[in-house]
Structures are given as C-alpha cells and as structure tokens.
Amino acid sequence: MILPPIITVSQLYKRYPSSATDALKGIDLEVGHGEIFGLLGPNAAGKTTFFSILCGLVKPTSGTVYIDGKSIENDMEAIKKKMGVVPQDIALYPTLSGRDNLLFFGRMYGLKPSELKPRVDALLDLFGFDENRNQAVNKYSGGMKRRINLLGGMLHEPNILLLDEPTVGVDVQSRRAMMEHLKDWNENKESTIIYTSHHMEQAQQFCHKVAIVDEGIIVAKGKPNELIKEHDCNSLEEVFIKLTGKKLRD
Ligand SMILES: Nc1ncnc2c1ncn2[C@@H]1O[C@H](COP(=O)(O)OP(=O)(O)OP(=O)(O)O)[C@@H](O)[C@H]1O
Ligand SMILES: [Mg+2]
C-alpha cells in the first residue's frame, strides 16, 4: 500500500518581524512515511526556522504545512502528540540528573510513572549511561548532554522525530552509536525522522532522501546517490559545495 506523504509543505515563507529579508522563500517539500529525511544547508539557510514552524514554535508568514493529514494552523495540539523534537540548543535542567530530566520530560508528555521509569532506564542503558545517569547534567560532558537531549525527544515514542543537529560536538564513537540507534529506531518503530546536520558524510550514509537548502530556498532534493550522480560528483559534500558555493554565511 502506498501511503500519502506524512509531511507536505507548500510555498512556505517566513519573514521575522525584525528582518528585512525572508528566512524561508517558498519551500515545497514532501516527506514519506518512515523516511529518514535530511535537511542540509549552510548556516542561516533556514533549517531551524523550518523546524520551528513544523513544531508550532514559530508561525509562518504564508504557505501551508500538513502533518499526517492535519494542518499546523488548526491541529497543532494533535500533531504535537505524535512529534518528538530535539532542539539545536540543548534544553536540559542543569542541576537535575540526566535521569530526572528524562522523567520530567516523560511526565510532561503524560506518560504514567509505571511505564515511564522502565522506559527511561532502558533508553539510558541503550545509550551507554551507567551510574552517571544520577549525576547532575552540569557535570556531564558535551556528548553526554547531547545524548540526553536526544532521548528527551524520543521518550514518548513519537512517529515523527525532528532532530536539529543532534550530534554537534559529539565524538566519533558516540556519534556512530547515536546514529545506529536512530537507524534501528526508524526501522523498528516505523518512525519518520527529519534531521539537520553539517556532517555530509553522516547524512549521505544515514538519510534516504535529502534537501539542500540555501538562503531559504531548496536548491536540490532527492536520494543522496542520485544527487551525486546527477551532479557528476563523488560525494554529497561535493554536491553541497557545488550548489551552495564557498561564500561564508552570516
Ligand atoms: N528569531 C529570529 N528573529 C530574526 N531573525 C531570525 C530569527 N531566527 C532566525 N533568524 C534569521 O533567519 C535566518 C535563518 O536562520 P536559521 O536559524 O533558521 O538558520 P539555520 O539554517 O538553522 O542555521 P544554523 O546552521 O546556523 O543553525 C538567519 O538569517 C537568521 O539570522
Ligand atoms: Mg539551526
């Protein structure tokens, strides 16, 4: 059975009130059920703005977004229940332990204590936490904070996961482990993952499809291997540089 796209975005524009230019300039995008979709772009391309609109934190200036058949304009509360968000800036309570942060998020999502505690401990085991799960987050390394940040968005087992640069500042070992877990999660829970990263090699391996966005415009979209072929390149990073150039942003 062919399902309709889980996310359909049409002609999405965003201009922040304080800004003279549009952060998003007419984004059209479809994401399929169960896809791992990479949104790739230089700094200031509009990736976080796009995510913020999808999760209801920022209102678009114009355009439409449908998620699982529901409009973000009218049905955001229903959409939020199915969505997990892992923000670019780590959002944890520094004086609480990693475990207590997750218990707190779980209660916010309305999970019952009897199901929440075993779920939190199983995820912490899976992501390599030992007794350190009970230490305050302000004693954690950057990589540990990133892992807890990621688990915070996965706890309620959403069927859409938005990951905004989930592996920034994480070492190779942890990064590989995180991506492997996310791949398993995508396969086992049949969940859709949309993810941003500046790590092109990782995106090439991890994503079924990608969109390259620059200055608020999608400049290419498709399967990584097809884009590489189409642009006569050897890697996604080469395609990225070919399409977005070498000018520094911001
Ligand atoms: N709250 C805001 N008010 C005004 N302008 C904003 C705001 N948030 C973002 N912008 C602007 O919108 C544009 C897109 O920013 P955004 O954070 O979405 O980019 P990004 O692709 O996530 O970049 P990065 O890779 O650096 O995280 C930038 O020019 C930025 O300065
Ligand atoms: Mg961003």
Q: Is 137 exposed, middle or buried (0-12, 13-18, 19+ CB in 10 A)?
A: buried
Q: What is the pLDDT of residue 247?
A: 77
Mean pLDDT of the chain: 94
- Please provide residue 56's backbone torsions phi and psi, each rounded to the nearest 5 degrees: 85, 10
Question: Do 161 and 191 form a contact (C-beta atoms < 8 A)?
Answer: yes
- Distance of alpha carbon 230 from alpha carbon 181, whole angstroms: 31
Ranges of beta strands (E only) in the chain are 7-14, 24-31, 36-40, 62-67, 70-71, 83-86, 160-164, 192-196, 209-214, 217-222
Q: Residue 250 C-alpha to ligand 1 middle, in angstroms?
A: 9
Q: Tell me the pLDDT tens digit for each residue of 73-92.
A: 999 999 998 999 999 999 89
Which domains does the chain carry? 7-91+160-244 (3.40.50.300)
Q: What is the pLDDT of residue 1?
A: 67
Q: What is the pLDDT of residue 3?
A: 80
Q: Which ligand is nearest to the CA of 45?
A: 1
- 43 within ligand 1 shell (Cβ under 6 A): yes
- Distance of alpha carbon 186 from alpha carbon 181, whole angstroms: 9
Q: 187: Cβ–Cβ under 8 A, 6 or more apart, which residues?
A: none
- Distance of alpha carbon 178 from alpha carbon 167, whole angstroms: 8
Give, for all 250 residues of the chain, the pLDDT tens digit: 678 899 999 999 999 999 999 999 999 999 999 999 999 999 999 999 999 999 999 999 999 999 999 999 999 999 998 999 999 999 899 999 999 999 999 999 889 999 999 999 999 999 999 999 999 999 999 999 999 999 999 999 999 999 999 999 889 988 988 999 999 999 998 899 999 999 999 999 999 999 999 999 999 999 999 999 999 999 999 999 999 987 777 7
Q: What is the pLDDT of residue 143?
A: 92
Q: What is the pLDDT of residue 248?
A: 76
- 86 within ligand 1 shell (Cβ under 6 A): no
Q: Whose CA is nearest to atom 16 of ligand 1?
A: 46
Ligand 1 pocket mutation, candidates 13, 21, 22, 43, criterion most atoms within 8 A of CB: 43
Q: Whose CA is nearest to atom 4 of ligand 1?
A: 16
Q: Tell me the pLDDT tens digit for each residue of 204-247.
A: 999 999 999 999 999 999 999 999 999 999 999 999 999 998 77
Q: Is 131 exposed, middle or buried (0-12, 13-18, 19+ CB in 10 A)?
A: exposed
The two three-digit tokens of residue 27, written as one number: 């984004």
